[in-house]
Structure 1
Amino acid sequence: MGQNQSQDNQQDSVIQMALQDYKEGLGQFLQKMPEIAGKFNEFTEVCFKEGKLSKKEKQLIALGISIFSQDEYCIIYHTKGCIDEGCSEEEILEALGVTAAFGGGAAMSQAVTLVQEAISELGSSDKQMKH
């Protein structure tokens, strides 16, 4: 196995581990604080429902906000959300450009690193990226 393949596998596992950590953390919070977690889950489900904006558009917005706020778990989670809603890599990158125009270098650094890693792994593992 070449060094690039080994680095790709290590990055892939970091992305998957982050998603798993987030899911486990939410599960633990739900067990410990069911009323709060339940209300939060209900609220977010309503926010991400199809409406005047599509689910796809809402995921792109959430990804941009996640990048601007430098929230790495949400960056990965909403990159996956974009992929799951059928966003192409080009659509995601265009949204990242808008985020970088607003958020500057910090937003661009997340766009060219963490989001690209997540697109690479999640797009190939889910086979749902549209080119």
Structure 2
Amino acid sequence: MNQPTHSSTEAALQHYKEGLGAFTQKIPAVAEKFNAFTEACFQEGALSQKEKQLIALGISLATQDEYCTIYHTKGCIDQGATEQEILEACSVAVAFAGGAAMSQAVTLVQECIAELTTKH
């Protein structure tokens, strides 16, 4: 698995946005459909947007997707999730995915929280 080699959360998010932009220019029909589908999935519904971001964070940890872990940690914060709510979502992921998820929760997620909450 390729992992971001950036020293900050903001750099990793920017790297993802740049890659998505280049992909969108090369294959716009696919990117547009993916983006529309994703936006529909994260709209408010029976579950709040915050709950959906917490779920996505847990899945990101369980699947060891570092970019999505960063992206959805930010999404949780942007949707008003507290640090306690984020860490509890991480705990559920760890219950399913074990040590690999734990290593990301105690490092990457906590680093993201620290970086992103100091900017709010």
Shorter-chain TM-score bucket reads over 0.9
Query: What corresponds to 1:124 in structure 2?
Result: 118
The residue type paired with residue 13 of structure 2 is L
Query: What corresponds to 2:62 in structure 1?
Result: 68
Query: What corresponds to 1:5 in structure 2?
Result: none
Q: CA deviation at 1:14?
A: 2.2
Equivalent of 1:20 in 14, 35, 42: 14
Equivalent pairs counted in the alignment come to 115
Alpha-carbon separation, structure 1, partners of 2:48 and 2:10: 26
Alpha-carbon separation, structure 2, partners of 1:101 and 1:35: 38
Unaligned runs of 5+ in 1: 1-11
Q: CA deviation at 1:16?
A: 1.2
Alpha-carbon separation, structure 2, partners of 1:123 and 1:43: 29
Map 1:86-97; keep pairs closer than 5 Å.
86-97=80-91
The residue type paired with residue 18 of structure 1 is A
Map 1:79-90; keep pairs closer than 5 Å.
79-90=73-84
Structure with the greater alpha carbon radius of gyration: 1
Ranges of 4+ aligned residues in structure 1 off by more than 3 Å: none
TM-score normalised by length of structure 2 = 0.93
Counting helix residues as a fraction of each chain, which structure ranks higher?
1
Query: What corresponds to 1:4 in structure 2?
Result: none
Q: For residues 67-124 of structure 1, what are the alpha-carbon distances to aligned partners after superposition, in whole Å with 9 as ceiling and x for unaligned?
A: 0011110000000000000000000001111111111111110000000000000111
Unaligned runs of 5+ in 2: 1-5
Q: Equivalent pairs: percent with the same residue?
A: 69
